Amino acid sequence: MEVHRRLCRTYECPIGYFHDLDPVSELISSLLSHRTRNADSGRAFKALRARFPDWSAMIEAETGEVEALIHGVRWPELKAPRLQEVLRALRDRQDGALTLDFLAAMEVEAARRWLEALPGVGPKTSAAVLSFSVLRMPALPVNSHHHRVAQRLALIGPKVDVGPSHPILRAQLPEDWSAQALYDNHEILMLHGQKICHFRRPACDRCPLTDLCPSAFTL
């Protein structure tokens, strides 16, 4: 909580939401972004949007065409068939409807389980769909920056991977926190990883957390 308080002051919470997408579009965007720079996944997302009038049209497209449209992301040859597979599974589970709007009526944990039953959807993607889309549900995503900073602060153990870190980090925050508060928590830890607690040579001399951090000035 002290980490949250200090970083919120540094990065000026509340942080504005960076997306305003419906949840199916957010699912596509999130799957594209895996291990890919935001600018590249954003470009790929826009290319898909421009080419297909709706996501059901992408299911029927040649996989090679989808792959060409998303060539700027990492592993386009794996992501193209996966995107189609996810959309197909979603459509089949919903008797032909391609929507995730019904998740708004579910508890967060139940909604996450529903999403994680789709092929290739893990905790990071399920939380991103619930938090970043217009659903604006209280879920905590953890990306690689967030994970690295949490590990250096010993909020999670050194061997805890990104997936299993989700419930651990969520349990450290108040149960009744709003969607905005959880989004802020994710964003400020991510921003801290991008701006100060870099992968190589973290700038501990500019960090407001040195007295709380067991890794300070050791890396």
The Cα 105–Cα 149 span in angstroms is: 33
Report if residue 180 touches ligand SF4, rule: CB under 6 A: no
Closest by CA to 185, choosing from 155, 212, 215, is 155
Q: How many residues does the chain have?
A: 219
Q: Sign of the C-alpha dihedral, residues 37, 16, 46, 127?
A: positive
Contacts with ligand SF4 in 52-71 (CB under 6 A)? Answer: none
Q: Which stretch in 27-35, 45-53, 136-144, 207-215 sits in contact with ligand SF4 by CB under 6 A?
A: 207-215
The Cα 83–Cα 85 span in angstroms is: 5
Report if residue 197 touches ligand SF4, rule: CB under 6 A: yes
Question: Please, what is the minimum distance in Å from the beta carbon of residue 15 to ligand SF4?
Answer: 18
Beta-carbon contacts of 16 under 8 Å, excluding residues fewer than 6 positions away, are: none
Residue of 89, 196, 199, 200 that binds ligand SF4 (CB under 6 A): 196
* Cβ atoms of residues 163 and 122 within 8 Å: yes
Binding mask 143-162 for ligand SF4 (x = CB under 6 A): ------x--xx---------
Number of residues that bind ligand SF4 (CB under 6 A): 15
Question: Please, what is the minimum distance in Å from the beta carbon of residue 205 to ligand SF4?
Answer: 9
Residue of 61, 98, 168, 204 that binds ligand SF4 (CB under 6 A): 204
CB atoms within 10 A of CB 99: 13
In the bound state with ligand SF4, the residue whose beta carbon lies nearer, of 111 and 197, is: 197
Q: How many angstroms from the chain centroid is the CA of residue 149?
A: 16
Give the footprint of ligand SF4 on this chain (CB under 6 A).
149, 152-153, 196-197, 202-204, 207, 209-210, 213, 215-216, 219
